[in-house]
Homo-oligomer: A and B are copies of this chain.
């Protein structure tokens, strides 16, 4: 591994199983459109049996982000747990072959590797049903302090709050990072996830444990329990050191103290599958941020990456993002 890492991500190690579905199917399955719902293995089997032919690709929110950042050319690492089963091998193969350093020990027994069953409706929206499996066993022992110390930014996903042991791993990593003078970033992940852990997320942001917050509009409103975006943004500005808030086709807003930078979304031809839009935005932003490119360029790289991944199936880039950045004059 390189002497310095730009971004270390810690998150659930998940393989996505993606199928097209009509809105009626979501209703019949009782899942809230656009959200991430946790399911157990029996529910996963039932859902898979009901859903259509699927495309299987590696996923996991924070994992997608470092794969995207590595595709831009950043030096990246990932910590997250799979089992040594065929699905776990797929996850490990893909992340390593994407140029991300990955050395978390595979579980030899217990729950299977995590899978997220993603239903993509004709409008391109994705609805996720996640069986966390082996990723739940991420614990303090999996945090390699040497790797955390080498990373400019340790990026954590809010979803990590779901598995109880992972929370301790999350806290340990943040502590090591700050002791080494490094930064910690958090994505709020999902508005339902924010509903589950609002007080803890808010405390972490207020207390200075998080240097850079990523959120989308819905997550931000959920965090501050308001339907008004400007109200939520005003609180965020006061409580967070700095944050990037994405608003789909309305672009993104970066705030730090009294400073506000608005970056428009990149135009797209067709929204095929929204899976990974936020992950890709964070990938581009963090790449620019850790390269010291400034917020505007970082934000534009985020928007570029997001526009790419939503025009195809799956959350990870289909072409080197470095090339897209060059074509867009953002290299």
A20 contacts the other chain (CB 8 A): yes
Residues of B within 8 A of A67 (CB): 53
The CA-CA distance from A146 to B86 in the complex, in Å, is 37
Contacting residue for A55 out of B20, B95, B98, B314, CB 8 A: B314
The CA-CA distance from A276 to B95 in the complex, in Å, is 27
How near does chain B come to A137, taking the closest CB pair, in angstroms? Answer: 20
A180 contacts the other chain (CB 8 A): no
A93 & B55 in contact (Cβ 8 Å cutoff): no
The CA-CA distance from A52 to B98 in the complex, in Å, is 7
A97 & B53 in contact (Cβ 8 Å cutoff): yes
A239 contacts the other chain (CB 8 A): no
A94 contacts the other chain (CB 8 A): yes
Residues of B within 8 A of A94 (CB): 53-54
The chain B residue sitting closest to A48, CB to CB, is B93
A129 contacts the other chain (CB 8 A): no
How near does chain B come to A67, taking the closest CB pair, in angstroms? Answer: 8
A93 & B58 in contact (Cβ 8 Å cutoff): no
Residues of B within 8 A of A53 (CB): 58, 67, 93-95, 97-98, 316
The chain B residue sitting closest to A55, CB to CB, is B57
A90 contacts the other chain (CB 8 A): yes
Q: Mark A110-131, 1 if CB is under 8 A from B, else 0.
A: 0000000000000000000000
Residues of B within 8 A of A48 (CB): 93
Residues of B within 8 A of A324 (CB): none
A9 contacts the other chain (CB 8 A): no
Residues of B within 8 A of A86 (CB): 85-87
A145 contacts the other chain (CB 8 A): no
The CA-CA distance from A17 to B85 in the complex, in Å, is 17
A258 contacts the other chain (CB 8 A): no
Q: Mark A53-89, 1 if CB is under 8 A from B, else 0.
A: 1111110000000010000000000000000011100
Q: Other than A56-B57, A312-B312, give 7 A-B pairs with Cβ distance below 8 A.
A: A53-B93, A53-B94, A53-B97, A53-B316, A54-B90, A55-B56, A56-B56
